[in-house]
Amino acid sequence: MSEAADLPSLWTHEPHIHLAFRPGDKVANIHTNATPGFSGKKGDAPALQAERNQRLAELQEMLYANSKTAGDTRSVLLVLQGMDTAGKGGIVKHVVGAANPQGIRYTSFGKPTEEELAQHYLWRIRRALPPAGHIGVFDRSHYEDVLVVRVHNLVPPDVWGARYDEINAFERELVDGGMTLIKVAMFVSLKEQKKRLAERLERPDKYWKYNPGDIDERLLWPKYEEAYQAMLDRTSTDPAPWHIVPCDRKWYSRLAITELLIEALEALNMSWPPADFDIQAERRRLAEA
Ligand code: ATP
């Protein structure tokens, strides 16, 4: 991962260290309004976000360029999983949106279609994986198959129970194939969630985001908390660890996830691919053309 010296000064520690899920961490104890590792304030966020978005865009372009011209087959997958209103959409818009869409493969996973239900639950996931040189973004993911599916008993416990090991094996296969996984679990407090849902009912420009079912899910939080805990306990592995991002302050969660992406991309130790043509000769040819 990147040296601390590369970090913008308002980060006191590399975010991936602060945000890494550790065995024994409890979902019930997450401080959703905390800003771990960040010494700045809300007012510092816009300028820093803009600066880091530029760095992210540069790294993304480098990943893409290396796959196009240097045969680099690596890719990155950002998995966003979180409570309703945690701000997954905002990450897609304000963080990933800064990069060139050409190199991004975005997929949102809603309720499976009939076609998807007829297949293994990883079928639709495999189809959405980022090709070489791309950054994949999963807005929800295969983890729904051990979250909503578990909470609502959509399949028997022995079926969802077997999925944790299966997901670990699947993700190991991806990492062995050259993919870096950045798994982010996003949490808001129930109080903040209520505020965000109320806003969706008050503002005409937000009605479209409101889903009456969100209230039913909110009432099921104790069951979701259990399911999230099991997900973190059982699927945070060395090749594909989980990060926990507190999301009551949107400006913090955006900055933090930007840094997680930058750290992962910097760890690929990329440089711009060298020219595969004679630069001087081409300059001469162009001058004469
Ligand atoms: P969001 O809340 O992410 O903005 P949304 O309300 O617009 O999404 P969709 O994106 O259409 O709705 O679908 C999300 C819903 O699909 C969530 O309620 C989620 O739990 C459900 N879902 C996702 N994957 C599965 C799955 N494998 N099985 C059952 N339900 C799923």
CA 238 vs. chain centroid, Å, equals 17
Instruction: Report which of 107, 84, 59, 109 is spatially closest to residue 197, judged by C-alpha positions.
Output: 84
pTM: 0.95
Ligand 1 atom with least separation from CA of 142: 27
Q: What pLDDT score was predicted for residue 9?
A: 77
Ligand 1 atom with least separation from CA of 213: 18
Instruction: Report which of 112, 103, 105 is spatially closest to residue 128, judged by C-alpha positions.
Output: 105
The alpha carbon of 191 and the centre of ligand 1 are apart by a number of angstroms equal to 22
Q: Mind listing the pLDDT tens digit for each residue in 10-35?
A: 888 788 888 999 999 999 999 999 99
The alpha carbon of 141 and the centre of ligand 1 are apart by a number of angstroms equal to 9
Beta-carbon contacts of 227 under 8 Å, excluding residues fewer than 6 positions away, are 146, 147, 150, 151
Beta-carbon contacts of 120 under 8 Å, excluding residues fewer than 6 positions away, are none
| pLDDT of 5 above 50 | no
| pLDDT of 178 above 60 | yes
Q: What pLDDT score was predicted for residue 255?
A: 96
Q: Which two tokens stand for residue 2?
A: 């990147």
| pLDDT of 4 above 80 | no
| pLDDT of 231 above 60 | yes
**Whole-angstrom distance, CA of residue 34 vs CA of residue 39:** 11
Ligand 1 atom with least separation from CA of 147: 20
Pocket of ligand 1, beta carbon within 6 A: 84, 88, 108-112, 140, 144-145, 148-149, 154, 211
Ligand 1 atom with least separation from CA of 152: 29
CB burial of 190-219 (b: ≥16 within 10 Å; e: otherwise) equals: eebbeebbeebeeeeeeeeebeeebeebbe
Q: Percent of the chain, pLDDT > 90?
A: 91
Q: Which two tokens stand for residue 262?
A: 């930058």
The alpha carbon of 137 and the centre of ligand 1 are apart by a number of angstroms equal to 15
Of 109, 159, 216, best ligand 1 pocket probe by most atoms within 8 Å of the beta carbon:
109
Mean pLDDT of the chain: 94
CA 17 vs. chain centroid, Å, equals 16
Mean pLDDT of 75-101: 95
Q: Mind listing the pLDDT tens digit for each residue in 233-276?
A: 999 999 999 999 999 999 999 999 999 999 999 999 999 999 99
